[in-house]
Structure 1
Amino acid sequence: MESEAFVRGDEGVVFQLDPAVLDVLPNVAEIVNVSHHGESAWAKALRVDTLKTNGNKESYFIKISVGTHGREALKGEYEGTSAIFAITPGFCPAPIAWGSLKTQEDSHFYLCKFYDFTDGVPEPVSFCEKLARLHSSGSSPEGKFGFHCTTHNGDLLQDSTWHNSWEQFFANGLRNVFQVRKDRAGPHDELDSVPDLFDKVIPRLLPPLETSGRTIIPSLVHADLWCGNASIVNEETEEGIGFDPAAFWAHNEYELGNWRPARNQFTRLYFNEYHSHVPKAEPAEDYDDRNALYSLRFDLHAAALFSTQEEYVQMAIDEIQRLIEKFHDGITKGTE
């Protein structure tokens, strides 16, 4: 199609679609409408309605962000969504492209198929079956934990460096989140003095997953699967998808750490449905504390993203203190 397109969208606003976007829209004969579709502190979104060359109508979602951070975040979203889509196409939006705009300096875009979402979390049966299939399929490069490019949780840069050990990968990623929160919100005496978390709790809970003949096969995880990143796409069946991934290869149970906080609306029913497909890892007696440890990282994400809301910091402090009390000296209290 033409190298530029001006479209009168909602409320008479005239949009110019960037040539870089037009170049990657697949088999489009005409741009019918362009409209704003929300924005955050780090990105804005557009909906583009088109007429295809075969006469069908199709809509696309475009996310636009700026700067080096914006470029890397959108690249990570594209690469993560593509990796998930390659394994479970029905579990995420169909990704199309990412790149830099030609008419706006240092601005970048991510393009995928548009979906009409319905309020509420997806019904658990099909949603958890697809998630379990994602976690149980595919293979990480060389069997390692990490990802081939930087991915972001919201606008938080994650440490996705490859590691052979899940314990090492998780600990490094958690240290990174502590540092990001500190950089954004400033020092916090209670939260910044937690050596026992890394010296005792993590060495107690994670090595048993990879010792005594046990191994972890890295699973591709969405890594930001809360209720705001999962929605219903079929009103009749309440079947849903996940979007905005922060993907990397991890212990599959890491995904469920984001389901622990009640704020994220994934009830015990979702845990049970998921584990009807994927059993809890051994040692199973550590499962709840592993889930709490994984959930801690998501509370710290929230504390960094919403640095003025002290409740997220307090949630993290409370859980850290509980875990340290239970696993002081690297063993379970009451079993010395």
Structure 2
Amino acid sequence: MLAARASGVAMQQQVMARWLAQQGLELAAMQPVGGGCIHRAWQLDLRDGSRRFAKTNRAALLPVLEAEADGLAALSAAAALEPTAAPGPSIPEPLALAELEGEAVLLLSWLELGGGSQQGWQELGQGLARLHRAGLASSDGRFGWHQSNFIGSGPQHNSWRSSWASFFSEQRLGVQLQLAANAGRALPQAEALLEQVPHWLAGHQPEACLVHGDLWSGNAGLLRGGGSAVFDPAVYRADREVDLAMARLFGGFPAAFFEGYSQEWPLPAGHLQRVELYNLYHMLNHANLFGGGYWQQSAASIQALLRTWS
């Protein structure tokens, strides 16, 4: 089995080398690296001493990689509009996208992750706040995105809405709850929740920021030697609080991150109450993708929200 796996990697390396050569790059070595929850992730060492990062998957998932490249480009464009000279988080550059012998491949610039200081996390929080604010320069006030994309490998619907309350209840919770029902996993009081969400959010009028959309601790980090980075986005225009809410899920970010964000752009009153509501979207998505205990967590969250907000 190990010999077969090594043979498969060697074959992939030959295919990758030919593709890179078409772009004027000479591959010296290729090795798998961690960090790919959905895709396979690779470190590509080039003959000139530089590195690239690649993601590969079956060809059917090329649209997922296309959406990731679109999101990275959008975040970079927003960062370029940031008016201050203060550093923001690094965003990997999508360099090339292709289907190679039955596999989808996305080539990205390399990020050398490995930092861990409290100051670094604080600066990441400050940088995210500046990125959120910079993205408003290109906003027309609507919520959504120019195309639907993906949250993990699940569908993320992004039809434009002028109302945040309508967008979140319909395009986020409504879609996920319908997917659950279609799979025979209708959750108790789901309809009651959907009826209430527009009322709960009616008094909250956020600006339509460009958000990362999938900001858990596995999709951000500090760089070796200083600086920070965000990657693997699921972008759309939304209440900026959705990024800060998700940053509390799945282990969460250090407190310094939230402190840094608040120093740069404080969140409005009531933001902590909205955390569980916004994170229900991600719980439901995980339930639809992975099943298991996420169904129980989603059901418990619905009950807690109905008790808390009533």
Q: Give the TM-score normalised by the residue count of structure 2.
A: 0.83
* Candidates 76, 86, 100, aligned match of 1:85: 76
Alignment: residue pair count: 293
* Candidates 185, 188, 203, aligned match of 1:188: 185
- Paired with 2:218 and 2:117, the residues of 1 have a C-alpha distance of 9
Which range is displaced more, 42-51 or 291-300? 42-51
Q: Measure how far apart 1:166 and its partner are.
A: 1.1
- Structure 2 unaligned segments of length 5 or more: list them: 1-5, 81-87
- After superposition, the Cα gap between the structure-2 partners of 1:182 and 1:66, relative to the gap in structure 1 and judged at 3 Å, is farther
Contact residue 68 and residue 234 of structure 2 kept, 8 A: yes
- Paired with 1:324 and 1:288, the residues of 2 have a C-alpha distance of 16
Q: Does 1:127 align with 2:133?
A: no
- After superposition, the Cα gap between the structure-2 partners of 1:197 and 1:250, relative to the gap in structure 1 and judged at 3 Å, is same
Q: In the alignment, what sits opposite 1:321?
A: 303
Q: In the alignment, what sits opposite 2:253?
A: 266
- Paired with 1:88 and 1:22, the residues of 2 have a C-alpha distance of 31
Q: Measure how far apart 1:203 and its partner are.
A: 2.1
Structure showing greater Rg:
1
Q: Does 1:146 align with 2:144?
A: yes
Q: Does 1:304 align with 2:304?
A: no
Contact residue 212 and residue 236 of structure 2 kept, 8 A: yes
Q: Measure how far apart 1:41 and its partner are.
A: 6.7
- Paired with 1:259 and 1:48, the residues of 2 have a C-alpha distance of 30
- Paired with 2:152 and 2:117, the residues of 1 have a C-alpha distance of 19
- After superposition, the Cα gap between the structure-2 partners of 1:119 and 1:250, relative to the gap in structure 1 and judged at 3 Å, is same
> For residues 1-336 of structure 1, what are the structure 2 equivalents within 5 Å?
13=10, 15-18=13-16, 19-24=18-23, 28=25, 30-38=26-34, 42-52=38-48, 57-68=49-60, 70-88=61-79, 90-101=88-99, 103-105=100-102, 107-118=103-114, 123-138=120-135, 139-171=137-169, 172-182=171-181, 186-189=183-186, 191=187, 193-200=189-196, 202-210=197-205, 216-234=206-224, 236-237=225-226, 239-261=227-249, 263-281=250-268, 284=269, 286-308=270-292, 310=293, 312-328=294-310
- Paired with 1:327 and 1:41, the residues of 2 have a C-alpha distance of 34
Contact residue 257 and residue 295 of structure 1 kept, 8 A: yes
Contact residue 93 and residue 114 of structure 1 kept, 8 A: no
Specify the SS of the correspondent of 2:285: helix
Q: In the alignment, what sits opposite 1:6?
A: none
- Paired with 2:215 and 2:221, the residues of 1 have a C-alpha distance of 10
- Structure 1 unaligned segments of length 5 or more: list them: 1-8, 211-215, 329-336
- Paired with 2:8 and 2:21, the residues of 1 have a C-alpha distance of 23
Q: Measure how far apart 1:86 and its partner are.
A: 2.1
- Paired with 1:121 and 1:61, the residues of 2 have a C-alpha distance of 24
Contact residue 48 and residue 61 of structure 1 kept, 8 A: yes
Specify the SS of the correspondent of 2:168: helix
- After superposition, the Cα gap between the structure-2 partners of 1:94 and 1:315, relative to the gap in structure 1 and judged at 3 Å, is same
- After superposition, the Cα gap between the structure-2 partners of 1:38 and 1:266, relative to the gap in structure 1 and judged at 3 Å, is closer
Per-residue Cα deviation, 1:24-58 (whole angstroms, up to 9, x for no partner): 4xx53x32212223485742222211134xxxx21
Which residue type is aligned with residue 232 of structure 2? Answer: D
| TM-align CA RMSD | 2.8
- After superposition, the Cα gap between the structure-2 partners of 1:38 and 1:277, relative to the gap in structure 1 and judged at 3 Å, is closer
Contact residue 140 and residue 220 of structure 1 kept, 8 A: no
Contact residue 188 and residue 299 of structure 2 kept, 8 A: no
Contact residue 93 and residue 112 of structure 1 kept, 8 A: no
More helix by share: 2
- After superposition, the Cα gap between the structure-2 partners of 1:155 and 1:192, relative to the gap in structure 1 and judged at 3 Å, is farther
Q: In the alignment, what sits opposite 1:334?
A: none
Specify the SS of the correspondent of 2:172: helix
Q: Measure how far apart 1:198 and its partner are.
A: 1.4
Q: Measure how far apart 1:94 and its partner are.
A: 2.8
Contact residue 120 and residue 232 of structure 1 kept, 8 A: yes
Per-residue Cα deviation, 1:133-181 (whole angstroms, up to 9, x for no partner): 1110133453321122232121111011222111121112221222334
- After superposition, the Cα gap between the structure-2 partners of 1:40 and 1:96, relative to the gap in structure 1 and judged at 3 Å, is closer
Contact residue 205 and residue 290 of structure 1 kept, 8 A: no
Specify the SS of the correspondent of 2:203: helix
